[in-house]
Chain A
Amino acid sequence: MLPNLRKYYRPRSIEATLRLLSANPVRCAVLAGGTHLLASSRRDVEEVVDISALKLKMVKRKNGDVCIGATATLQSILENPRLRKFADGILVEACHRNSVSRMIRNQRTMGGEICANWKRSDLAAILLALNARVKLMNFSLEEKEMLISDFWSMPAFRTGKKGSGLVFPGLLLELILPTPAPPFAAAYVHVEQIESQPSFVSSAAVLEFDENRQCGEARVALSSFADVPCRLPRLESFLKGKTLTPESIESAGALGFDEIRPLVDSRASGTYRQAVAPVLIRRLLGRCLKRL
């Protein structure tokens, strides 16, 4: 519940939306599905702009990319037959795992997850591994595309400043997922005690190979491992040019992540996270090997 909410808008155009947001960027929040915002009981929010009428729900293919509108719900993504096999199904798998609650998946949007829950979302690792881009529009109605990693590096996300309605000055319109170049293999591996729990640690990989089955582009990411979801550059460069074999996978797993300070929270200690992350990496790569 937002105790101080006074105004609700449901504009029908992006222009009107941005006008409303720019008029009061501090006390006005974007309302997509609301699963994070309305569960937050934030006292700083006085206005919300519901973007559900903006026709941003679509999922389409464009030039080999998959474009997912900001207000597409996680349930609609996982029900979309065209996405079922996309990137070996890891996107759909992570959407399903995001919450065991059908209600939540019916409400929660991709845009909301990217803006409000990216720090602890398994989807963040998936999107990093897929090298996702976001399409934004700023208050001057200029469209802009950027890598999702750059998006999350924006100051508003980094500082996590409380008491400001908007996470960035503008509107997230779309998520763009490039289709990995075949032959490729993708995998998503996570660890938790029971299905309904958020993952203690999760990991995703997209590996592209050349015709000799040597790894070309490799993107591996972890979520809920460090303070923020992160790619693993050392591991990625290790994989480059390698063939996946049980032996190379073992060496990759043994690389370790000494450079990353692990997260400590109510679920697990940093020590545990450090102990299981290599296991996840080995399983992740093992699964890629199986899929190749």
Chain B
Amino acid sequence: MLLRLLPWLAAAWLMAVGIYGMVTSRHYVHLIGCLSVVQSGTYVLLLAIGFVWHSGPPIFYDHPPGTPAVDPVMQALVLTDVVVGAAVSALLLALALQLHKRRNTLDPQELEPIP
């Protein structure tokens, strides 16, 4: 039972620590890293949903169709998620770089907000 719950707990844990890290972050690059941790939580969650015990990968090249396999739909979703994450991280890091060039700091606390 615990083994079955483990991936769900891991996913929830990853999302929770990721958001905690973002809330308390003092450096934008650290914050973006924490964002990736949150995203890893979604990967684990999706893979756990699609997982089927005692079955192989959903590739029927060398064994007959109908053999038990894990759910390929969820894997496709994870793949999309990975692509999205890469795009967003790249964009965020580019923005952070520019921010550092112009303001000479990356601490969210030091950047004065507009009321």
Is the A/B pair a real complex?
no
Chain A residues within CB distance 8 Å of chain B:
none
Chain B residues within CB distance 8 Å of chain A:
none
